[in-house]
Structure 1
Amino acid sequence: MTRIPSPLALAAASAVISLFPVPSKAQNMSDLDYPETRAEDVSETRFGTVVEDPYRWLENDVREDEEVAAWVAAQNKVTQAYLSDLPGRETFAKRLRALIDYERYSLPEAAGGRTIFTYNPGLLNQPRLMTQGPDDAEAKVLLDPNDWSEDDTVALGGYALSPDGAKLVYAEQDGGSDWRTVKVVDAATGRTTSDIVEWVKFSNLSWDGSGDGFFYSRFARPEQGQEFQSLNLDQKVYYHRLGTPQSDDRLVYETPAEPKLSHTAQTTHDGRYLIIYSSEGTDERYQVHVIDLASDDLAPVTLIGARENNWAYAGNRGSEIYFLTNLDAPRQRVVRLDMSDPAAQPVQIVGQDDAVLEQAALKRDTLVLAYLSDVKSELRTFALDGTPLGAVDLPGIGQAYLGGEEGDGELFYGFTSFTVPPRIYRYDVEAKASEIWREPDVPFDPDAFVAEQQFYTSKDGTRVPMFVVRRADLDSGKPAPTLLYGYGGFNVSVLPAFSTTRLAWIEQGGVVAIANIRGGGEYGKAWHDAGRLQNKQNVFDDFIAAAEHLIETGVTSSEQLAIQGGSNGGLLVGAVTNQRPDLFAAALPAVGVMDMVRFDQFTAGRYWVDDYGYPDREADFKTLYAYSPYHNIGGDTDYPAILVTTADTDDRVVPGHSFKYTAALQAAEIGPDPHLIRIETRAGHGSGKPVDKVIEEYADVWAFAAAHTGLAVGDGE
């Protein structure tokens, strides 16, 4: 099962601790000077509205523009001087290092008698890729990304095992960038072949049935200096035959008349067909073409012509292909299509349920389906005629996720929750029985923490779920410093999951709340649609209502509440801070989309019009401009303390968003609390970030949040 990148991813609680004092007003920015930021007279008129953009020059690539690089260095100098003096910073760093020091495994994949999986024994900056052949007594290291660069910022960015288990195609990710370099290694000996494929992005890696080569998607090489800025257009699908140069790769599929279409290719598990999904944006609306790999001309056959619905391959039996889809089913169902009659209507196998269908896997003659019911996972099994065969027992309330190869009788799945680190299970389809394949030994007591689900009412009366996680011994009748997290977009469901970074906060007596606001996929397509385009304000209203609920129920107070979100969640934090600055003590927007007028001008930004709308269309522009974080800073109320985080090689949400937003914050008259930016080097949007950098970042972020919410941080002993 290949990882497919998306265009656009918690010691003892009762120990006696010594306390550091809460920072005084001497810690606010009235005693520090922000770096000077040049403002230019830049504006444009859109649909009768003059849009000011005085910091547009900060959009320039930090690697190519000396003035931007100097600005970044100056901002980091001020920010690090402030953060280094915060009490609790070293405590958080020490505890994070201890909490992260446990074994972590990915779901295993198998082919030809060989099994592969990633493994981190604890504090390696990058997980190793392990392999175990049929004659191996135990797994051994196949790839170790920790040897790929001196700073451990080159990561494993995807991989796939050949059908016979003899070879592995894998991708290298440099400095957190979405660009990938693809290579091939002998799975038994570890010897790398001469095969190299470059300028791959947002791509699957799929072997042909013979194992002689693989399919991938790529863009044209960007112009020099534009690798991290230019729009991603004209993606094409290629076939690379082993032992040949990339220049000889065969073009398999392209749409020159529609340069905005992206194409992801996936071979069926039996190697018979290549399925190509085409879409223009992030919304799951796909056109589907299928190529019979036994044919000589590799001519694509249209299976789904209209880009209106989601289609996800679950498995096939000969020409009969099973898909998960939201066609006539907003919470999704399973249907069958037949390549012997591609024009025929889909045949329903498993109909829509009250729960949301999230994943589907075909194991022998059994469909294993992962559902989401009120943001909690269920696994159910069905025969190929749709007859229910029973549920897979899960160890509790949490998140289950599927893996493993289709052809064998065992299914690997993972399970995690807020207090349970990921466990890997092997499920035997015929015996209908699960057993633990890997279970980490963690350096804390899960019973020392509790997680509960609450429901609250948003501004328009919508019932919204939220999880609240705290120490079991914490006095729930007393307001506590609280982190409220949200995302709210792109049909992404925020599910129960273990997080050592959050646990470090909770151990100190803080509370973590996760709001499942609209715009996500927690309740299917309708929940997503209610939080996008002209409905985007619902997302902000839901998040504000979550904060008000936490305050009204005594979980926290406005003086103790910090809000956090990344990427689209960074936009969320920026927007609600502008709309209700009085409600929060601290705001932590990470790698956020902050300029809603120009987001579609850079790299993957053009994909996001499905969720945000088109800035060059009047109705969409008016909605976008009304909540754009960069353009709506100010007012009569002092702002909370703000720590913006981004990275210099983020080519998903380019750092110019955060740069411009920070410059505008620092120039505005919005009160004495600090408004800082932390800019990571040799890091991107998040994936592939070394463990050391994760620890350093969260030690800074949590110390900042603690300082401004009144969390008393212990000495870590």
Structure 2
Amino acid sequence: MSRRSASRRLPVSLRFAAIACAAALSTPAIFAAQTDGPPPARRVDVVDHVFGNSLSDPYRWMEGEKNAEFQKWLVAQGDYTRAKLDALPTLKAWQETLGKTSGNEVVYRAQRYAGGRLFFIRQEGQGTGTLMVREADGKERVLLDPATLAEGGHASITLFALSPDGSKVAVNTDRGGAEVTRLEVFDVQTGKSTGDAVEPVWGEFGADWLPDSSGFAYTQMAPEDQRTDGDPIQDMRLRFHRLGTPVAQDPTLLRAGTGEGVNASFAIPSNRFPQIDFPAGSRWAIAAATGAQPETRYCVAPQAEAIKPGVSWRCIAELDDKVEEAAIHGDMLYLVSARKHSNGEVLAIDLSKPDASLAQARSILPLEDDEIIVGLSLFDTQKVATARDALYVKVTRNGIDSVRRIDYRSGKIDSVSMPLTGAASLFHADNDEDGFLLALRGWTTPAKAWRYDSKDRSMHTLGQDQTSPADYSMIQISETEVTSQDGTRVPLTVLHRKDAVLDGNHRAILWGYGSYGLSQVPVFNPIRLEWVKHGNIFAYAHVRGGGEKGEAWHQAGKGPNKHKGVEDFIASVEALSKLGYSRPERTGLISGSAGGLLIGGALANYPKAFGAAIVRVAMLNPVRLMQAPNGANQVGEMGDPRKAADFPFILAMDPYQNLKPKTAYPSVMLDVGLNDSRVAPWESGKFAAKLRASNTSGKPVWIRTNANGGHGIQVSLGAEATEFADIYAFLDAQLPTR
């Protein structure tokens, strides 16, 4: 069973002349001091004494949910920033350029086969994605347009799950931007709701159907009065719904935390999420306790019993076993583990044996030293995929994906011939279908999708290749490594024009992340490519904390090692200068979410090392992790601020606490979604307020708000274009070219 992740962002269409665009994009940087200021933030006298540390927190008043004073302040910040952005000289040119780019782009994703039909999401322009179905005769039709579900059209599909017989589809729809969804079943033939619907369901958790399509399990958020510390992400419960029966009668199969529904054989902490899978053709169900860390606990039980409360679960993998993914075919359980090998290995366990355990597991796929099968990627595709005919495994080498086929009976391993060189944005197989689905893309190569036919051992196009909205043949990708502060060699990917003169005069964006073992792999993103097409640099720093070099790379930038990723980020800025791509004062950093600890750490500790920072929906105050919604979920990755052993390194990684008074900071823009339920907006508010109070440079610290935005997941193509037009115009104004 693989963890599900939603995708990204994206729409806008504005009209201006191309000549005006070219002229505006060459406008020199603007460094005039601000003549007016953003709305001020009041200070409070709050000092915490924690494990011998005295922590001043003058903006504590911003914390808390439904904080009317903070919301009013934040909206005023957004209005101020909007007026400033609208006055920037290159904004309209970028709006026109990126608007045309997003308006001409069509993306296909989440392809699935069932019942002889192909289901997929088609996304273009202002839309967040429409659920489509292609019949066996090749005719396509709309199954569900989320814009018809909510007033104003502000709805998106975060997930869909097909019943094994292909007659029904369970769709998660987010109608408020906060990733809290309604899971509803639709009839595939008519497109109408069956009346089976449950809510609230976090947008990452879809329906897990029984093999006979008679019902499904789902992970439901707890009622508000049953959430630990009021956190909506805690105390979830796994329930089972039989089609056509009242939801109120749905039994609880597993429950996180304490209370009614807890199963003693599979106790789950309140900050983890119970999930289940019912593999077709198997007598086993596999359940998992997932969370915001790669390691997952897995347990099995007979399918017939697993849909009943109180079943006795046999737990195979604990967190210390470092198992990141599991799948079942028949009686065989396949695990991806990093316990013995940092780059991962595929293990097989025969569940038909009464004493089946991890101790009896055998490794079934030899790997070369530089091949990796662990870690997350941008699209969080499966690593092991159980098809009806064989086990398929996705193997990564230097960011490029390939697939191995392992025959169930003989164990024979074959390499599947790849149709092009790239990284997978789709890799999926089902126990009741032969072969697998695959989509590959590169930094400048649009995604192309295929279905692998096990009969002729070849790839067949799905006819859903993403087309490039513009010509990017002038862009070159250069791969290098930089030397970090401790001597570690860190990969750096640089996108630049082929005709770029390496004189250091280009504006550059450096992108990084560095958490959860998430790798920065090739992704075709025309919005970013337009920045390069217009003579700039876009680089990706593969810092420690990611998974580019396996689980050891993740651990090297996690917890007490979080500062290593920051050092890698700064070393990458220096490398762009040494290689002649840019200069530190001409380089802007971009990161967000958990990457807020990366970019925030750079701001707090190396304020003179770069020219500007774009901080997107970011985690910036981890010592207050337990006071934030979704905070307890992050403990496995960030550490627990309630523990004396963890607190020192959490304090060291806290950007808010490490800002220094009377310091010259670079230009900063913080991007905040007012409906963000993953990272509390008050983290950005507190950081911005303290940064302004500490800053002596006179350079701007702006907060850009999105009234309809959450954490930037499953938004439209145009929304991304709108956001990045603002970002590029801001960087044009703040980064000099001479």
Helix, strand or coil at the partner of 1:624:
helix
The offset of 1:418, in angstroms, is: 1.0
d(CA) in 1 for partners of 2:385, 2:97: 39
Does the CA-based 8 Å contact 1:602-1:654 persist in structure 2? yes
Helix, strand or coil at the partner of 2:289:
strand
Q: How does 1:90-239 map to 2 (within 5 A)?
A: 90-100=92-102, 101-120=104-123, 122-134=124-136, 136-201=137-202, 202-223=204-225, 230=231, 232-239=233-240
Relative distance call for 1:614 and 1:654 in structure 2 (3 A) is same
AA aligned opposite 1:349: I
1:273 — aligned with what?
A: 284
Are 2:490 and 1:467 equivalent residues in the alignment? no
Relative distance call for 1:84 and 1:169 in structure 2 (3 A) is same
Q: Which of 54, 58, 61 lines up with 2:58 in the alignment?
A: 54
Q: Which runs of 5+ in 2 are unaligned?
A: 11-15, 259-266, 375-382
Q: Which moved more, 1:77-86 or 1:612-621?
A: 612-621
AA aligned opposite 1:617: K
Q: How does 1:443-522 map to 2 (within 5 A)?
A: 443-522=469-548
AA aligned opposite 1:337: I
Does the CA-based 8 Å contact 2:329-2:386 persist in structure 1? no
The offset of 1:72, in angstroms, is: 1.4
Helix, strand or coil at the partner of 1:545:
helix
Q: How does 1:348-497 map to 2 (within 5 A)?
A: 348-354=363-369, 355-358=371-374, 359-384=383-408, 385-399=410-424, 401-437=426-462, 438-497=464-523
Which TM-score applies when normalising by structure 2? 0.90
Does the CA-based 8 Å contact 1:228-1:651 persist in structure 2? no
Relative distance call for 1:203 and 1:140 in structure 2 (3 A) is same
The offset of 1:310, in angstroms, is: 4.1
Q: Which moved more, 1:584-593 or 1:599-608?
A: 599-608
Relative distance call for 1:196 and 1:47 in structure 2 (3 A) is same
Q: Which of 606, 610, 618 lines up with 1:584 in the alignment?
A: 610
d(CA) in 2 for partners of 1:2, 1:386: 23
The offset of 1:161, in angstroms, is: 0.6
Q: Give CA deviations for 1:86-128 in whole Å, capped at 9, x if unaligned.
A: 11111111111221222210142111222210112x3132111
Q: Give CA deviations for 1:444-496 in whole Å, capped at 9, x if unaligned.
A: 22322111211111111111111100122222344310000000011111101
Relative distance call for 1:237 and 1:618 in structure 2 (3 A) is same
Which TM-score applies when normalising by structure 1? 0.92
1:285 — aligned with what?
A: 295
Are 2:287 and 1:262 equivalent residues in the alignment? no
The offset of 1:668, in angstroms, is: 1.7
d(CA) in 2 for partners of 1:199, 1:616: 29
d(CA) in 2 for partners of 1:465, 1:80: 36
Q: Which runs of 5+ in 1 are unaligned?
A: 713-717
d(CA) in 1 for partners of 2:649, 2:159: 37
- Number of aligned positions between the proteins: 703
Are 2:39 and 1:35 equivalent residues in the alignment? yes
The offset of 1:342, in angstroms, is: 5.1
Relative distance call for 1:228 and 1:73 in structure 2 (3 A) is farther
The offset of 1:223, in angstroms, is: 4.5
Are 2:551 and 1:536 equivalent residues in the alignment? no
1:574 — aligned with what?
A: 600
d(CA) in 1 for partners of 2:302, 2:228: 35
Q: How does 1:622-701 map to 2 (within 5 A)?
A: 622-634=648-660, 637-701=663-727
The offset of 1:149, in angstroms, is: 2.5
Does the CA-based 8 Å contact 1:404-1:413 persist in structure 2? no
The offset of 1:352, in angstroms, is: 4.6
Are 2:247 and 1:246 equivalent residues in the alignment? yes
Relative distance call for 1:309 and 1:635 in structure 2 (3 A) is same
The offset of 1:230, in angstroms, is: 2.3
AA aligned opposite 1:412: L
Q: Which of 81, 101, 126 lines up with 2:83 in the alignment?
A: 81
1:71 — aligned with what?
A: 73
Does the CA-based 8 Å contact 1:124-1:146 persist in structure 2? no
Relative distance call for 1:44 and 1:342 in structure 2 (3 A) is farther
d(CA) in 2 for partners of 1:334, 1:142: 37
The offset of 1:314, in angstroms, is: 6.0
d(CA) in 1 for partners of 2:251, 2:167: 23
1:25 — aligned with what?
A: 31
d(CA) in 2 for partners of 1:380, 1:366: 10
Does the CA-based 8 Å contact 2:282-2:329 persist in structure 1? no
Are 2:362 and 1:343 equivalent residues in the alignment? no
Q: Give CA deviations for 1:232-255 in whole Å, capped at 9, x if unaligned.
A: 322221101111222110111235
Are 2:330 and 1:318 equivalent residues in the alignment? yes
Does the CA-based 8 Å contact 1:206-1:216 persist in structure 2? yes
AA aligned opposite 2:27: P
The offset of 1:431, in angstroms, is: 2.0
AA aligned opposite 1:423: K
The offset of 1:370, in angstroms, is: 1.4
AA aligned opposite 2:365: V
The offset of 1:407, in angstroms, is: 2.7
Q: Which moved more, 1:210-219 or 1:486-495?
A: 210-219
Does the CA-based 8 Å contact 2:278-2:284 persist in structure 1? yes
d(CA) in 2 for partners of 1:227, 1:65: 19
Relative distance call for 1:285 and 1:398 in structure 2 (3 A) is closer
The offset of 1:375, in angstroms, is: 2.4
d(CA) in 1 for partners of 2:405, 2:140: 31
d(CA) in 2 for partners of 1:666, 1:157: 37
Q: Give CA deviations for 1:358-409 in whole Å, capped at 9, x if unaligned.
A: 4122334433221221222232333334433124224124446412434322
Relative distance call for 1:449 and 1:305 in structure 2 (3 A) is closer
d(CA) in 2 for partners of 1:40, 1:23: 37
Are 2:319 and 1:307 equivalent residues in the alignment? yes
Helix, strand or coil at the partner of 2:320:
coil
Relative distance call for 1:397 and 1:181 in structure 2 (3 A) is closer
d(CA) in 2 for partners of 1:65, 1:301: 43
Helix, strand or coil at the partner of 2:722:
helix
d(CA) in 1 for partners of 2:604, 2:128: 37
The offset of 1:512, in angstroms, is: 0.4
AA aligned opposite 1:85: A
Helix, strand or coil at the partner of 2:719:
helix
d(CA) in 1 for partners of 2:551, 2:354: 26
1:715 — aligned with what?
A: none
